[in-house]
Structure formats: structure tokens, C-alpha cells
Amino acid sequence: MREKIASLWNSEEAARCSGDLELRVYSSRLLGSNPTLVLHGGGNTSVKVRETNLVGEDEEILYVKGSGWDLATIEAEGFAPVRLEPMQKLAKLETLSDPQMVNELKTQMTVAGAPSPSVETILHAVLPFRFVDHTHADAVVTLTNTADGEQRIRQLYGERVIVLPYVMPGFDLARQVGEAFAKEATAETIGMVLLNHGVFTFSDSAQESYERMIELVSVAEQSLEQERAWEIEESAPVAIEEELRESLATLRAEISAAARRPMVLQMTESTAGFSFVDRLDLVEIATRGPATPDHVLRTKRIPLIGRSVSGYVEQYRSYFDTHSSHAREEKRMVDPAPRVVLDREFGLCVVGKSAQEAGIVSDLYEHTMVCIQRAEMLGGWQALPAADIFDLEYWDLEQAKLRKGGKAPMFQGEVVLVTGAASGIGRACVDSFLQRGAAVIGLDINPQITDLISSPAFLGVCSDITDEEGQRRALEQGVRRFGGLDMVVLNAGLFPGGTEIARLESERWQQVMRVNLDSNLSLLRESYPLLRQAPNGGRVVVMGSKNVLAPGAGAAAYSASKAALTQLMRIAALEWGADGIRLNALHPDAVFDTGIWSDEVLQSRADHYGLTIEQYKTRNLLGVEVTSRDVAELTAEMCGPLFAKTTAAQLPIDGGNERVV
């Protein structure tokens, strides 16, 4: 049984709020905490307050949700303060272009550093109530996305709501809302339904406005239940045993080519998704459009059904040509890549420029599938016409954002695997790649790797690097989460205590070789089919050692294993260059902020040389300490554009070593 909405208002918590703005934050968060009402920045709220300005004049200020803020986590700083009277005057104009509207919103703000006001600011201004709440409630959207949606809404709510046809957010919608409210509002009116869009409620009380929203949505949910359109049959959870990583990587490569940038592809493995793709009418119902036009900016107008990316691109370009009068240069800006993939083998897959964006698409489409199937039980899912959806997708304001753009992170949309990722250089590499926008698969034998970082862009996998089956499972997990593999950092290694050759046991030798050499051979072999499909070319960084160039007595196994690994890298560079895969090696030395260098060991080694710990750490030509972060930063840069034309190189990072020089 799917849970229905309920009020979360807590009088004790509300009483701790000092003033209307704090109450606005409190009730906004209540709305944002329920994904059936608001998802990922959707919806908006406002409050009207009276404030005294710097010259002692009283002004009415409209605090409206600012761009980039999510109702679930919004703070007072997330509301943009706009002078109310100028907004109300604007609403009386006959026309107002989007650029003019945006300019007016910004110039009437009372805090220059506040976020940009919502494009629905004027709409909030014309409603004569202190508190206004707006959501894209699933139940209401479902009812309006049916052939007789308007009739259903009117019968359900009567004079309690004003019903308006869909109008794109902005000035025209605000003007129609103002006119409709003036003509149709009665003493019973507590809200407004915008067909195919969402629902508004309002009141001079924060609690009442919030609870009116809960009430209206509850009525819609009860209606769905009464008409047996609430519960959705789902198949049993699917256990996918076969290896899909190469097929997923191929699909991701084709989508990335269409998008002209690397993209993250996530196989959600959602039970609801597998149930949805098994529907016999999938193609018919899934291609009628999104739940609300607002979602199209994240999910695109329709999903890719199956794996024919070229067919989808052709269809998308035809859709653009049919509805657009944009110049040819504008067409080149169009990203025709899908954001949702529905495939019988993969289930529901989602696509984004980052792992976070893919996660947002996933959440939105999970709710879309529910809305579609419930509407089908009411007689048929019916979204807005393609022309209306196109108008929002290629809205001037959205295109302006694209043109303005901004520099993307270096590795946005790319995926890296780091071995030995739980500590030391490996952990530092995880941080360096995350900071550059990559999705990171961290592999380590330490169980703590799974909880190392709480981020949609990080997947920690606990596995012994010498376990070849474990390697394959880790790659499978990583590709299902992120879609492919662009970079590999072979960092995991074993540094045994000093043992002279005369006393070196074969078992110890073989153990070091298994960890430092054999495991990397197998991981390279398993990664190759994925790396050759990397949109920007595959990259591998091998963590070598100073001992490759200047071995030390008592380190035969370690030195030989690292030398062999370096030679393996060079041969792979010879063999894989034609596939656009480049491999390079770093040779760190004296990196002391790792697990093997305890305070006691450091003191012992410093005493051995007659040095202080600080002198021992900096005993190189430059007199500097080399840290894990130093190595990690260079590792990341070697995967970046500065080294795009370098392969099979070996680079020391040791502050200058007399024996190496």
C-alpha cells in the first residue's frame, strides 16, 4: 500500500520561529520533505512582509524562493526579497518580455547578493495573501494529465479552487492568474490548479496555507484510490546476474557522442522501472510527454526506448525542426541526447552531466512512471502537446543560461577507478578527482571504503585487489552506477619490510608480485574493453616508485614488482595507443602521510640517519616534503588535457633524488 500524504505541522516547532520569514522557511521545508509534492528544486513558496528601509520608510517586501534553492533544505537566505508594489504594477501591463521581466525582478531586489527570484514572482505578488505555496503534487498532476482532466478537477474541488489551462511560467501566467482570481475567487477559494502543471494554496497564515495544500492533495489521492487508480502492480524484484558492463559502456559512449560531452549513465535497477518497461503499451504511453513541462528541462520530452541512440537523435532533431524558428547556430547548441532510457534488459537508466544530475533524473522519472500508470487507469495518460513542451524546453531564459554557460569541471561526466582508495595516496586521489567533477569508484580491501564519502559521485567497493572475480564485480558495480570507465589509477600496493635476497622467502616474493603486479595485469585486462569506449579516450596512471629508478637493498620484491609494473605500462601504451588509451607512470618517494609511516617508524628512520623527523621528511634536493595530496594532484592532472599528448611517460615526484638524477 502506497503511503498517502499527511500534515507534518508541529505547533511546538512552529512556535520557535521568530517572524513570518522563519515560518516561511519552516513550512517550505515541510513541503520539500515530501517527494510526492516537490522534487529537486521544483515548486516555490513566498511570504509578504513589511520592513523599514534605510531611510526609515515602510515597504512591503515579497520574499520568494530564489533560483538554485531546494525547498527541502532552504534557509532564509534562499528567499529573494523583492519590492511588492512594483511587481503588482507590472502585472497590469499588457505585455512584458522574459528579458524585461528578469531585469525588473533583479532591479527591484533589496539585497544585491540574494539569489535570483523565481520566474513566478509576479504570480506570487498578485495573490492577495501573505503566504503562497506551490507544488507539482503527483496526485493532482496525474488527474490533470487525462483526457477529461479539467472536468475531474472542477468536480473534485468545486469553488474551492480556481482552474486555469496551462500557460508557460512567467508574465503571461501571472497576468492570467491575477485576472482569474479577481473574477472567480469566492469566500470558499483556498487554492488554484494549473492544468498539467501543479497546485497553489494561499492564506495569511503559514500553517493554514500549508495545510490547505495537504488537504487538496489528500482529496486528489482519495479520488485516485476510489477510482482504483492508486495502487500500481509491480513485478517481483529482478536479480540481474549476467555481466552488462560492456553493453552499458557502449550505450553510454553513443549517448555521450550525441551530447558532445562525456555523460554519466546510471542503471537504476529499479523494480518499478523493470515493471514499467515490461508493459506491452510502453512505447505508446512513454512517448506522450513528461508529467509537467518543468520536468522536460531535466528529463527531455520523451525517453529513449531500447538502445538506438541514432534513431532517437534523428527523431529529436526532427522535433526541433518542426517547432523551432531558431537560427542554424542555435541548432548547433541543441543537445539531442536522451536523459531517460527504457530498455527491457537494463530497465530504467538515467543520464546526466554528473552523477548528481543523473540521480535527479532518476527521482523525477520514478514519479513520472507512477503518474503515467495511474492516469492510464483513469482512461489514458495525456500530456501537453509537443509545441507547448518545446516552448519551455527552448525558452529564452533557458537558452540564455546555456549561452552564458560557465566552465565545466575538468572531468565532468567522466568516471575513474582508484585502487587502494581508503587511505594515503589513494584516498587523496579520490578527493582530487571528485574536486575536478569526476565520478569515482574506490576499491579497497578495507571495509570502511563503502562509507568513505557520502556523495552520489562516489561508489566504494570492498574487495581484495588480487581477487580477479572481485575485480570484475567491482567493475560491474561501477559501470551500472556510472555507465562506463574513463580513467584508472593503479595505486594499491604492498610494501613489505626490508628483507635481503638471501633471506627472502618465495611465498613472500609471490605475495608481493600478486598484489603489485599480477592484480594490475588482470585489472588492466578487464578495464580495456571499457577504456577504449571512453568518450575522451581512456587514461591510466600507474603508481610506480623511486625504487624503479633507484632500487634499495632489502627491497628486492617491491623494487622488482614496481619495475615490472612500469614495463607492463609501457607495453600497454604500445598496444593500446591506437585505441586512444594513454598510460603513464608516477614514481613517488618519501610520502610519509600514509598508513605505513607511523610516528614510531618515522622516528626510528630519522634516528638511523642522525636527523630530526622534519629533516628526514625533506631530505631531497629541493628540501620539500612530498605529501599524498601532491601525488594525487599530479595524478589527476596526468589524466587531464595538459598531458593529452603524452603516453608511456615516467615522472618522478620526489623533490629531487640524487640517485635518480
Closest by Cα among 526, 472, 531 to 253: 531
User: Kind and range of the H or E element at 310?
Assistant: helix 309-323
Strands (E), 311-414: 340-343, 347-352
Q: Are 531 and 554 in contact (CB under 8 A)?
A: no
Distance between CA atoms of 440 and 461, rounded to whole angstroms?
A: 11
Tell me how far apart the 2 most distant CA atoms of the chain are, in Å: 98
Name the phi and psi angles at 415, rounded to 5: -130, 135
Q: Are 208 and 132 in contact (CB under 8 A)?
A: no
- What is the residue type of 29? R
Closest by Cα among 416, 365, 413 to 539: 416
Give the neighbor-by-neighbor strand order of the sheet with 264-267. Answer: 264-267, 347-352, 340-343, 304-305
Find where cell 531558431 sits. Answer: 326
Catalytic residue (choose from 394, 558, 609, 616)? 558
Distance between CA atoms of 45 and 51, rounded to whole angstroms?
A: 19
Give the neighbor-by-neighbor strand order of the sheet with 458-462. Answer: 458-462, 439-444, 415-419, 487-490, 539-543, 582-588, 650-653
Cell numbers representing residue 395 in the block: 525558452
Closest by Cα among 237, 235, 197, 193 to 216: 193
Helix %, strand %, coil % for the chain, to 5? 45, 15, 35
Name the phi and psi angles at 628, rounded to 5: -60, -40
Strands (E), 212-361: 264-267, 304-305, 340-343, 347-352
From residue 303, alpha-carbon distances to 42, 73, 289 in Å are 20, 30, 9
Beta carbons within 8 Å of 129's beta carbon, 6+ residues apart = 48, 202, 203, 204, 209
Closest by Cα among 435, 483, 442 to 463: 442
Asked about 558 being catalytic, the answer comes back as yes
Distance between CA atoms of 510 and 240, rounded to whole angstroms?
A: 36
Beta carbons within 8 Å of 230's beta carbon, 6+ residues apart = 2, 221, 224, 374
Burial of residue 622 (number of CB atoms within 10 Å: 0-12, 13-18, 19+): exposed
Distance between CA atoms of 608 and 322, rounded to whole angstroms?
A: 79
User: Kind and range of the H or E element at 192?
Assistant: strand 191-194
User: Kind and range of the H or E element at 138?
Assistant: helix 138-144
Distance between CA atoms of 53 and 164, rounded to whole angstroms?
A: 37
Secondary structure of residue 267 in the 3-state scheme: strand
* Residues involved in catalysis: 558
